[in-house]
Amino acid sequence: DHMVITYINCSAGMKALSDIICTSSNAQAIVESLPKDQKIIFAPDKNLGAYINKKTGRNMVLWNGACMVHEIFSLEKITKLKIRHPKAKFIAHPECEEAVLNLADYIGSTTGLLKYTQQDSAMEYIVATETGILHQMQKLSPQKTFIPAPPSNQCACNECPYMKLNTLEKLYLCMKYEQPEITMDEELRLAARKPIDRMLEISAKLGL
């Protein structure tokens, strides 16, 4: 009797088991589009799910998963960084832990964070998400300063090793040679496509 809402970055197998797919940008709207008495399982990110529960007043069942990048931000180090930069606004992705989100001046998806830094009047930001976005923020707002939120250890763990596998060279070769080809069982492909189509239908109705 539970509807399963799953994050877009999950596998095809997970998608095939889901009713609706979501992104961090539309997750709250997707949840709010369903009847309030509809029981929901939200997977796989427990932090994003907890944030949506708080925003919507729902009590979704949360999968015990998390993004390795967003889980390692240090609350203590962020607090100290805010003291050193009193004029900086602290912005965070909703996949961060609740204690970190409670410190944030703004919480938003990757797209939301990018737009916020363009439109907001502050000149300095502490950013709690994958550090790759800071390049784009600096490019769009060169007059502003962007500081990556510190992780809880000394490693560069707020860089996603999986996203960094994508390079310009690989993208060029992929577009030029249309390789590597990915094959998928047709039954699995069709099953995985259904919840994506459902997301697109709901998004279109909501004007997202």
Same fold flag, 2-66+184-206 and 75-159: yes
CATH no. of 2-66+184-206 = 3.40.50.10800
- Please name which of 49, 117, 129, 111 lies closest in space to residue 88, comparing C-alpha atoms: 117
Predicted TM-score (pTM) of this structure? 0.87
Read off the pLDDT of residues 30-88 as tens digits, 9 standing for 90 and up: 999 999 999 999 999 999 999 999 999 999 999 999 988 888 888 899 999 999 999 99
| Confidence check: pLDDT of 2 > 80 | yes
- The beta-carbon contacts of 175-181 under 8 Å, at least 24 apart in sequence, are none
CATH no. of 75-159 = 3.40.50.10800
Read off the pLDDT of residues 76-130 as tens digits, 9 standing for 90 and up: 999 999 999 999 999 999 999 999 999 999 999 999 999 999 999 999 999 999 8
Q: With cut-offs at 50, 70 and 90, classify the pLDDT of residue 153.
A: low
Give the CB-side neighbour count of residue 36, counting CA atoms within 13 A: 2
Encoded tokens for 103: 């410190």
Query: How does the average pLDDT of the chain come out, rounded?
Result: 93
Do the strands 106-107 and 61-62 form a parallel or antiparallel pair, or are they unpaired?
Answer: unpaired
Report the pLDDT value the prediction gives residue 174, as an integer from 0 to 100: 94
Domain-by-domain residue ranges, the chain?
Answer: 2-66+184-206, 75-159
